[in-house]
Amino acid sequence: MEVTLSMDPLFLAWSYFRRRKFQKCSDLCTKVLEDNPFDQAAWSLKTRALTEMVYIDEVEVDQEGIAEIMLDESAIAQVARPGTSLRLPGTSQGGGPTPAIRPVTQSGRPITGFVRPSTQSGRPGTMEQAIRTPRTANTARPVTSASGRFVRLGTASMLTHQDGPFINMSRLNLAKYAQKPNLSKALFEYIFHHENDVKNALDLAALATEHAQFKDWWWKVQLGKCYYRLGLYREAEKQFRSALSHQEFVDTYLYLAKVYQRLDQPITALNLFKQGLDHFPGEVTLLTGIARIHEEMNNITSATEYYKDVLKQDNTNVEAIACIGSNHFYTDQPEIALRFYRRLLQMGVYNCQLYNNLGLCCFYAQQYDMTLSSFERALALVSSDDEQADIWYNIGHVAVGIGDLTLAYQCFKLALAFNNDNAEAYNNLAVLELRKGRIEQAKAFLQTAASLSPHMYEPHFNFSVLSDKVGDLQSSYVAAQKSEDAFPEHVDTQKMLKTLRQHFAVL
C-alpha cells in the first residue's frame, strides 16, 4: 500500500486514462487540481477524460432532423436526374429486387441488412408524415437536429454537478487558450463533445487556426465540424478541402463526404471516396462509405461489390457481412445468406435479429430441422417489444409457408399485440380474415395497414382485390391506383387496373 501511495498521482491518472477508466482518472485529476489549481497537465488530462466519457464518433453519427428534411431551401431541382440524388427513391438502376421481393422503407428504398442512423428514416414526403412517425429512442427515425441523438448520447452537460461545472464556459478567455496549442486542442474537444456548445467551440477553433497562421490542418477539420453542425455546409466544405490540401487524412475524407451527402450530391461524394482510395488504398471506412451510398441510391449490385471489397480487407466487418447476407437472401439464394449469417454467429454476434435471420434462411433453404429452434432462441434473446413483434411476424410467415393458418393467425395477432404499428402484420392478418370470409374485419385491417404505412403497396392491392370481389369497383379502382403509385411495376396491379378500366369503358 505504501508503494501505491507514493506513486505520482498524475502518472496514475494517466494510467487510468489509458486503461479507459475515465471516472477514476477524472477523480484523481480533481484531487491534483485541488492541491494545485494551476496544474496544466492535470487540467488537460481531466478535460480529455471527461470528453472521452461522452465521446461519440462524429463520422458515424449522421441524422437528418425534421428541420433539415422538410425546410430544405437548397433544393434547386425538384426533379433531379435519375441516379444523381439520394432523395429520389424510385430510381433503381442496378436492377435490384422489386418491392415484391425485398421490402422497402418508408421512403421507398430496399431495407438494408444493417441498421445504422438514416437507413430506416429516409426522407418523409410530407410534413404530416414526418411528424407522425414515431420517433422513439429505439427507432432511428427523424428527430430535430439540435437535440435528438446529441442530447441523448451526450447528456453530460445537462446533469448538474454538485459543485458546479468543471469549466465555466462563460468565464473562459478563449483568446488566451487559443495561444496555447497544447491546451487548446483538449479544451476544444471538451467544449465540442462534453459541453455540446458548438458556437463557443467554433470561436475557439477560429482563434486557434488564426494563431497557427492557417497552417494547422487539425484546426481546419474542427472548424469544418463546427460549421457542419451549424448547417453551414458550404463553409464546412471549404474548411475540409483546405485541410485536405495540408494533410491527406482518412477522417477528413469521411467528413467531406458527409457534407456532400447532406448537400445531396452523392456522385461528388463517390468521386471523393475514390480519390481517398487513391491515397489510402483498401481503406475499409472509405469502401464502406461507397457501398453505403450505392445502397442508398438503390444500386444494390454495386453496393454488394464494394461490401465484398470491404471483406477482402477486413473479414470481420459486421456491416459488410450482414448486408451481403441480406442481399443474397432477397435475391433468392438463402443458402448463401445462411453462410454469411453463420459467420456472424461464429464471430460472436449473439442477438435476436441474427437468430431470426438464421431461422428465415434455414426455412427458405429447406433446412427445416434448424428453423424453429433458431426462432425459439431468437424469442429467448428478445430485449424489446418491437423485436418480439418482428419475430412473431416472421414465425407467422413460416406458419403460412407450412399451411398452418391457425398458428399464422395467432402469430400475426401476437405481433400486433407487441407492436401496434406493424402494418405488415395488419395486412397479412387481413388476408387471413378474408380467407375466413370475414370481409368487414379484413377491410378494417387493410385500411389500418394502409394508413400506418402508405409506402406499402400490399394493403392497397389487397383492398382493391377485396373491393372487386364485393363488387365495389370504384373503391377497387382507387385502391389499385394507390398501389400503382407505391409500386408502378407490379404486374397484378396493372392487370387489375386494366380489367377495371375495361369494366368502366364497356357500355
Enumerate binding residues for other proteins (CB under 8 A). Answer: 66, 79, 81-82, 95, 131-132, 134-137, 139, 143-144, 146-148, 151-152, 155, 158, 331-333, 335-336, 339, 365-369, 371-373, 375-376, 379, 385-386, 392, 395, 402, 404, 407, 410-411, 413-414, 416-418, 420-421, 440-441, 443-445, 447-448, 451-452, 501-502, 505-507
Phi/psi region, residue 492 (left: phi>0; alpha: psi -120 to 50; beta: rest), is: alpha
Give per-residue burial for 89-114: e unless 16+ CB within 10 Å, then b: bebbebebbebeebebbbbbbbebbb
Residue with smaller CB distance to other proteins, 164 or 437? 437
With CA atoms as reference, report the closest residue to 65 among 226, 230, 237, 227.
Answer: 230
DSSP 18-86: HTT-HHHHHHHHHHHHHH-TT-HHHHHHHHHHHHHHH---TTT----BHHHHHT------SSPPTTS-S
Residue with smaller CB distance to other proteins, 251 or 492? 492
What is the nearest approach in angstroms of other proteins to the Cβ of residue 143? 7
What is the nearest approach in angstroms of other proteins to the Cβ of residue 106? 14
What is the nearest approach in angstroms of other proteins to the Cβ of residue 69? 13
Cα–Cα distance list, 40 to 9, 17, 204 (Å): 14, 16, 18
Q: Which grid cell sits at 237?
A: 466544405
Distance between CA atoms of residues 441 and 278, nearest Å: 60
Residue 134, Cβ neighbours under 10 Å: how many? Answer: 11
Residue with smaller CB distance to other proteins, 184 or 356? 356
Name the phi and psi angles at 104, rounded to 5: -115, 160
Q: What angle do CA 74, 80, 83 make, to 5 degrees?
A: 120
Residue with cell 441480406: 326
What is the nearest approach in angstroms of other proteins to the Cβ of residue 79? 5
With CA atoms as reference, report the closest residue to 295 among 279, 310, 281.
Answer: 310
Residue with smaller CB distance to other proteins, 183 or 372? 372
244 and 256 in contact (C-beta within 8 Å)?
A: yes
What is the nearest approach in angstroms of other proteins to the Cβ of residue 229? 15
Residue with smaller CB distance to other proteins, 36 or 474? 474
Q: Which grid cell sits at 318?
A: 459486421
Name the phi and psi angles at 294, rounded to 5: -60, -40
Distance between CA atoms of residues 157 and 197, nearest Å: 9
Q: Which grid cell sits at 14?
A: 494517466
Residue with smaller CB distance to other proteins, 152 or 312? 152
What is the nearest approach in angstroms of other proteins to the Cβ of residue 343? 13
Q: Which grid cell sits at 387?
A: 423485436
What is the nearest approach in angstroms of other proteins to the Cβ of residue 2? 45
What is the nearest approach in angstroms of other proteins to the Cβ of residue 36? 36
Residue with cell 488566451: 176
Residue with smaller CB distance to other proteins, 195 or 283? 195
Distance between CA atoms of residues 168 and 483, nearest Å: 58
Residue with smaller CB distance to other proteins, 45 or 338? 338
What are the start-end ranges of the H helices in 297-349?
300-313, 318-330, 334-346
Residue with smaller CB distance to other proteins, 35 or 440? 440
Distance between CA atoms of residues 406 and 358, nearest Å: 24
Residue with smaller CB distance to other proteins, 418 or 461? 418
What is the nearest approach in angstroms of other proteins to the Cβ of residue 496? 16
What is the nearest approach in angstroms of other proteins to the Cβ of residue 86? 17
Cβ-Cβ contacts under 8 Å for 5 (sequence gap 6 or more):
none
What is the nearest approach in angstroms of other proteins to the Cβ of residue 56? 15
Residue with smaller CB distance to other proteins, 32 or 414? 414
Residue with smaller CB distance to other proteins, 1 or 506? 506
What is the nearest approach in angstroms of other proteins to the Cβ of residue 385? 7
Cα–Cα distance list, 306 to 73, 118, 286, 448 (Å): 33, 19, 10, 39
